[in-house]
């Protein structure tokens, strides 16, 4: 099993996700949003499964700094904005094959590990 974790290292939930999988000796590929923004294709999978309400962190500092507080766009526009400004996303985004999760979701991760 291998997982891909998207986020920033200074986020507490991202660190918990990294620790969760490393403690179980699962290979982790970490994508740091500060070094590489997610592609629209990567984001589209998450938006299709979870939608804007679960993915966009309307309380994040970056979201508020961009003045998006009253913005209500469709998924395509949010994907475009998030690929340029990934710090508006709820983190971590975790993918293992076709399985996806948003935020700290240890119950889902345990189910993945158990098979």
Contact present, 84 and 58 (Cβ < 8 Å): no
Contact present, 54 and 108 (Cβ < 8 Å): no
Question: What's the Cα-to-Cα distance from 55 to each of 1, 33, 76, 113, rounded to whole Å?
Answer: 25, 15, 13, 23
- Count the domains in the chain: 1
pLDDT tens sequence across 78-92: 999 999 999 999 999
- Domain with 67 in it: 2-114
Q: What CATH number is given to the structural domain containing 26?
A: 3.40.30.10
- Residue 115: the pLDDT is 76
Kind of pairing between the strands at 2-7 and 99-102: unpaired
* Residue % of the chain over a pLDDT of 70: 100
Three-state secondary-structure class, residue 30:
strand
């Amino acid at each position: 099993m291998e997982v891909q974790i998207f986020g920033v290292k200074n986020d507490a939930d991202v660190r918990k996700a990294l620790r969760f999988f490393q403690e179980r000796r699962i290979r982790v590929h970490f994508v740091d949003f500060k070094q590489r923004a997610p592609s629209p294709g990567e984001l589209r999978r998450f938006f299709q499964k979870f939608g804007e309400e679960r993915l966009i962190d309307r309380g994040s500092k970056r979201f508020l700094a961009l003045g998006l507080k009253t913005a209500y766009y469709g998924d395509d526009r949010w994907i475009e904005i998030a690929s340029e400004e990934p710090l508006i996303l709820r983190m971590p985004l975790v993918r293992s094959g076709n399985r996806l999760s948003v935020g700290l979701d240890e119950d889902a991760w345990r189910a993945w590990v158990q098979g």
